[in-house]
């Protein structure tokens, strides 16, 4: 499982993760110890954003208006709050209005 190499992905880029994304990455079934270590190193090189009151309020609005899953609503709200693009392979995020999305197709 190839996850990340900072210099390959974006040199000198700051990468932000919602705390939801951090949890999702660590919850993959059947991860080997090596894969878990790679994911943890990736997370250590990112800024993990916790849920604030503002993010919570945006997530509630997104959930109600776009009918996305709650975790996806929190991720989208985090990106909107930080005014950063969301890089994802999940096309369901297209339902969220005013979200800058970069669809990644592996």
Within a domain: 3: no
Q: How many domains does the chain have?
A: 1
- The beta strands (E) that lie in 1-106 are given as 16-18, 47-49, 86-88, 101-103
Contact 88, 32 (CB under 8 A): no
Of 44, 39, 17, the C-alpha closest to 26 is 39
State the pLDDT at residue 6: 43
Instruction: Read off the CATH number of the domain in which 20 is found.
Output: 3.40.50.1010
Within a domain: 1: no
Mean pLDDT per segment of 10 residues, for the chain of length 106 residues? 44 85 94 94 94 98 96 97 93 93 83
State the pLDDT at residue 12: 64
Contact 95, 88 (CB under 8 A): no
Domain extent at residue 58: 14-103
State the pLDDT at residue 11: 59
Within a domain: 79: yes
């Amino acid at each position: 499982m190839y996850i990340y190499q900072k210099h390959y992905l974006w040199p000198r880029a700051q990468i932000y993760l919602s705390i939801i994304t951090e949890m999702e990455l660590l919850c993959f079934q059947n991860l080997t110890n090596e894969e878990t270590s790679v994911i943890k190193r990736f997370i250590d090189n990112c800024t993990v954003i916790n849920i604030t009151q503002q993010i919570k309020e945006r997530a509630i609005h997104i959930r109600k208006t776009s009918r996305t899953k709650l975790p996806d609503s929190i991720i989208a709200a985090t990106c909107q709050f930080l005014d950063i693009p969301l890089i994802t392979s999940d096309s369901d995020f297209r339902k969220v209005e005013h979200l800058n999305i970069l669809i990644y197709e592996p």
